[in-house]
Chain A
Amino acid sequence: MVKLEARNIVKYFQHDDYKLKALGGVNLKIQEGDFVCIVGPSGCGKSTFLRIAAGLEKPEEGDILFDDRPVTNTGPERIMVFQEGALFPWLKVIDNVEFGLKIAGIPSDERSQISQRYLDMMQLTRFANSYTYQLSTGMKQRVAIARALVLDPDVLLMDEPFAALDVQTRELLLVELQIVWQKTKKTIVFVTHNVAEAVVLGTKVVVFTNRPAVVKKEVSIDFPRPRLVEDQKLVPQQQEILAELKPEVKKRMESE
C-alpha cells in the first residue's frame, strides 16, 4: 500500500530579488513500512521535500498524497525529526518526550506510561529528568526520536538527524534506528548526504539530481539487519549510488 506519494512537486526558493527552482517535479511513491533514504548534492532541496511532506511548506506545483489524500497541513501523523533535534530547552527530557501527548490531551498517567516505553527503547531512562543542555548531541537525537515515536506517527520524516554526530555515536544510532524501525514498523523517510548511512538504513535509496531536483534513480537494498557500516556486501550498492550521485555533485560545484 502506498503511504506517501509525491506527484510532480515543484518548489522555488525565494531569495530577496530572485527565485531559485529547487524541486523540478519530484515523483516518488513510498510504500507503507518502507525505509526510504534520500541522497543528493547539498542544497538540492531534499530537506525541502521532507518539509513539504511534513506540511511545513507548500509546493508551487504538484501534491503530496498521504493515504491518497493531498497534504494541506502539518500534523502528528507525519512527524519530523529535525537535524538539530529542535528539543525544547525549557523542558526536561521526559517533558520533551511527552509534549505531543500533552497537546493531544492525553492524561498524565497515561502519558508517563507511553513515554516510559520509548525512553526505555531509546535508552534514556537515566536522563528522564535532565535538561537538554546537559545532554550530548547523540543523546539529544535519541530524545528527538523518542519524542516523535510516542505519537505513534504513520510516517517519520528525518532530516539529516545524525549529521552532527561523531563517528562512534552515529554507528551506534544507525543500529538502534534499524532496531526501532523493525520493532515499530514505521514508514521512514530519511534525508542524508551520506551514502554509506543511506545504504545501511534504507530498504530503498532514492537519488536526487542537482537542482532543480528530480528523482534520478531508486535503488532497492535487500540485506538482513542490523546492517553495519563496515559490511562488505553493501559496497556494490554503495558504489552504484555513488556513481549516480557524483555527476550531480560535480554539476553542483560547477554551478557555484
Chain B
Amino acid sequence: MSKHLTAKKIIFYVAILAVWQAVADANFWPNEIFPSPWEVMQDLGYGAADGSLFYGIGTSMLRLIVGLAIAIAGGITLGIFMARMETVNQTIGSLVLGLQSIPSIAWVPLALIWFGVSDAGIIFVTAIGAIFAVTINTYTGVKNIDPHYIEAAQNMGAKGSQLITLVLMPAAFPYLISGFKQGWAFAWRGVIGAEILFSFLGLGFLLNVGRQTIDVSQVIAVMVVIMGIGILVDGLVFKRLENKVMSRWGLR
C-alpha cells in the first residue's frame, strides 16, 4: 500500500470518528441511545477485561469453523458430482440453485425445531448458508478445467478418487478459493444471525444482551468486532491464499 493511500484512509477514518463524536456531543439523543466513540471503546475495554468478548469471539469462531468445514467438504463433493455427472446436475443442480436463494436466517426455525437451542443448530444454519456457494463455485471450476488436463490424466491411468484429488481439485483450485471466500462470507453472516435468534452464546448473543439491557455501546462495540474479524479474515486468509494460487498458476 502506498503512503498516499494510507494517509487517505487514516484521514477518512479520523474524520468519521470526529463527526461521530461531534454528533454525540451535540446531544440530539440521550447518551444511552447514541453513545460516543469513546464510550464504545470503553465498552470494548470492559468486554476484553472480563473476558466475555474473547469468549464470545471464540464461541462464534468455533461454530463458524465447524460449519464452514462441513460446507466446504459437502460443497466440493456436491460440486464435483454435479460437474462430472449430467444427471446429478440436471436434478440436484437445479435444487441447489433454488436453495442458494434462501437466506441462511430462514433456516433458523427449522434448526430450532430439529436441534433445539444448541451448538448443532447454529452450526447447521452456518453450514447450510455456506454450502451452496461452495457447491456452485466448485461446479463452475470443474466445468472450466481444460479437458486436455483430464484426458492426459486419464491417459496416464488416473481414475476415481485419484482423478478427483490429484487433478480435478487442484485444476479447479482458483475457483475453489472463490467458493471458500464466498462460503466464509455467508457463514459469518449466518453464524451471527443464528446466534442472535438462538440467543445462545457467541457474538450474536452479546448483541442480543446489549439490546435487552439497552446497552447501545455494547451493541456497537460487538458490531465493530464483527467487522474487524471480517476484514482480518479476508485480508489475512483469503487475500494471501488468492495471491499464492494466482502466482502459482501463472495467472499474473
Contact = CB atoms under 8 A, between A and B. Distances in A.
A82 B156 contact: no
A132 B170 CA distance: 15
A102 interface: yes
Interface string B227-251: 0000000000000000000001110
A86 to B, nearest CB: 4
Contacts of B171: 88, 90
A214 interface: no
Interface stretch (A58-66, A71-79, A241-249): A71-79
B214 interface: no
Given A76-B157, A103-B166, A86 B152 contact: yes
B250 A100 contact: no
A36 interface: no
A86 B173 contact: no
A147 B170 CA distance: 18
B204 to A, nearest CB: 38
A80 B151 CA distance: 9
Given A99-B153, A100-B156, A131-B250, A86 B148 contact: yes
Nearest to B167: A88
Interface string A112-134: 00000000000000000001111
A167 interface: no
B154 to A, nearest CB: 5
Interface residues of B, number: 20
Nearest to A91: B170
Given A88-B167, A103-B157, A104-B157, A80 B248 contact: no
Interface string A155-177: 00000000000000000000000
Interface in A80-96: 80, 82, 84, 86, 88-91
B158 interface: yes
A134 B247 CA distance: 11
Contact of B250 (A75, A133, A151): A133
B152 A82 contact: yes
Contacts of B149: 86, 88
A54 interface: yes
B155 A90 contact: no
A56 B162 contact: no
A133 B151 contact: no
Contact of A86 (B151, B249, B250): B151
B156 A132 contact: no
B50 interface: no
A82 B148 contact: yes
A29 to B, nearest CB: 23
Given A89-B249, A131-B248, A133-B249, A56 B151 contact: yes
B146 interface: yes
B146 A90 contact: no
Contact of A79 (B155, B166, B173, B249): B155
Q: Which of A78, A84, A90, A100 has the most CB of B within 10 A?
A: A90
A75 B158 contact: no
B148 A76 contact: no
A84 B148 contact: yes
A99 B156 contact: yes
B153 A75 contact: no
6 contacts: A76-B157, A78-B155, A82-B152, A89-B249, A133-B249, A133-B250
A74 B163 CA distance: 14
Q: Which of A54, A78, A134 has the most CB of B within 10 A?
A: A54
B151 A79 contact: no
Nearest to A135: B250
A76 B162 CA distance: 15
Contacts of B148: 82, 84, 86
B155 A75 contact: yes
A71 B13 CA distance: 69
A91 B173 CA distance: 12
B249 A102 contact: no
Nearest to A133: B250
Contacts of A104: 157
A99 B250 CA distance: 20
Contacts of B162: 103
Contacts of A76: 155-157
A12 B158 CA distance: 27
A100 B157 contact: yes
Contacts of B157: 75-76, 100, 103-104
